[in-house]
Amino acid sequence: LFASISNAWLSGQWDIHQMSHPLPTTLIILALALKVGLAPLHTWMPEVLQGLDLTTGLILSTWQKLAPFCLLLQVQPTNATVLLVLGITSTLVGGWGGLNQTQLRKILAYSSIAHLGWMILVLQFSPSLTFLTLLVYFIMTFSLFISFKISNATNINTLATSWAKAPALTSIIPLILLSLGGLPPLTGFLPKWLILQELTKQGLAPLATVAALSALL
């Protein structure tokens, strides 16, 4: 709200496509980053997701991302650095944060942060690629949350003992998890590969390398 009002004050119009002044543009990007949970504005996300039940958590991880993303796609920043910094910080924080967690919802929250980082990195170069990544992320997260809901698992120990209850489902879960981690030849690898290719084309090979290394975590 503050960003849009300051934009109207500085430029005299309310249109999102005409945001030319760097101050409101940066402000609105930061505000939307806070809304979707991009690092370094991500601190609310793991804690909030941990406190929710799996169905609500699923809605927070998927549906709630659509509106801010639509706005981010329409705001074309004059300076690309903000988005790149947010993107690379998110992939790193998402990778690091997921280590030594036993709570599945927290791991999923950090996974969400990392995936959003990948999307933001390529947002200004190829919006269609961002959309593809978002779609693949939605499908994987949806299937994972539903699997956890069926096996009634909220931490890793419960997941380890779910074999007796639902052997078929328990054998599929590792595949979904590996796909979410972006391991070839699974689906989750496809958007990451395309993003790395696009970043290299744009002459951002060092950034692509850091992002690829963060995905290993």
Q: What is the pLDDT of residue 14?
A: 87
**Local structure of 38: helix, strand or coil:** coil
- 65 CB neighbour count, 10 Å cutoff: 22
The amino acid occupying position 21 is: H
Residues of the chain under the 70 pLDDT cut: none
Q: What is the pLDDT of residue 202?
A: 93
What span, in angstroms and rounded, lies between the C-alpha atoms of 84 and 130?
13
What span, in angstroms and rounded, lies between the C-alpha atoms of 174 and 22?
44
**φ/ψ of residue 126, rounded to 5:** -150, 90
What span, in angstroms and rounded, lies between the C-alpha atoms of 202 and 217?
25
What span, in angstroms and rounded, lies between the C-alpha atoms of 45 and 97?
12
Among residues 93, 107, 97, which one has the least CA distance to residue 61?
A: 107
- 83 CB neighbour count, 10 Å cutoff: 21
In angstroms, how far is the first alpha carbon of the chain from the final one?
36
pLDDT in tens, 152-177: 988 988 888 888 888 899 899 999 99
Q: What is the pLDDT of residue 140?
A: 96
What span, in angstroms and rounded, lies between the C-alpha atoms of 191 and 136?
8
**φ/ψ of residue 103, rounded to 5:** -85, 125
